[in-house]
Chain A
């Protein structure tokens, strides 16, 4: 077994601020993902990474940057927080191949922008 940890659990920012979210996994999984979830609805893919130093854009990548410097960690940066933005950011990992393996999710970071 393994675990995914996300920090911080809650993040409050100001409009225009640059904010960084972090994710660590000890599954030794190759692929890691960042999703955004609004109002308890579906997940939208922001970025994913199939190996260390690899980055692939998802449908929602505009306004975000990502970094995968180690196999076990994946960071997401909100480049300029939007006023009244509220969402949960979920990190996930899978053992291999993006499409054909179960994804395991972290507990999420809840973002509020004032």
Chain B
């Protein structure tokens, strides 16, 4: 079973709308969650990371973390066509030796 699970697999959002992406760890020993964005044909780039309960906002992007439920979510408000990309969630674990990536959510913003 995938240790880091993302949903939905894909998402279509109207321009100006809100996109909400989910990520859950099946291992309770999670330390950090990371969100990376990968535009088509490009390499992944880190968007945001979060390690404490609560919310973190950077511009149009907000990340929530609920450590008790091992769940993080990424919200993109006022979505733009340039936000169309594959969004990868990754987790790092206590005593772990490498990041574990989920399979990603493909976001398409329709003009």
Chain B 52-95: CB-based contact to A (< 8 A → 1; otherwise 0): 00000000000000000000000000000000001010101100
Instruction: Find the A residue at minimum CB distance from B2.
Output: A42
A102 CB contacts on chain B under 8 angstroms: 34, 46, 49
Say how far B49's CB is from chain A's closest CB, in angstroms: 7
Instruction: Find the B residue at minimum CB distance from A90.
Output: B43
Q: How far is the CA of A35 from the CA of B36 in the complex (A)?
A: 14
Q: Are B43 and A98 in contact (CB under 8 A)?
A: no
Say how far A57's CB is from chain B's closest CB, in angstroms: 10
Knowing A42-B104, A99-B31 touch, does A105 contact B96 (C-beta < 8 A)? no
Contact of A44 among B31, B43, B101 (CB under 8 A): B101
Instruction: Find the A residue at minimum CB distance from B86.
Output: A40
With most chain A CB atoms within 10 A of its CB, the pick from B46, B49, B97, B98 is B98
Q: Are B45 and A99 in contact (CB under 8 A)?
A: no
Contact of A42 among B42, B45, B49, B88 (CB under 8 A): B88
Q: Identify the A interface with B (CB < 8 A).
A: 33, 35, 40-45, 48, 56, 58, 90, 98-100, 102-103, 105-108
A-B contact pairs, 13 of them (CB 8 A): A40-B86, A41-B86, A41-B103, A43-B44, A43-B90, A48-B98, A58-B98, A90-B43, A99-B32, A99-B92, A99-B96, A100-B31, A102-B34
Q: Identify the B interface with A (CB < 8 A).
A: 31-32, 34, 38, 40, 42-46, 49, 86, 88, 90, 92-93, 96-99, 101-104, 106
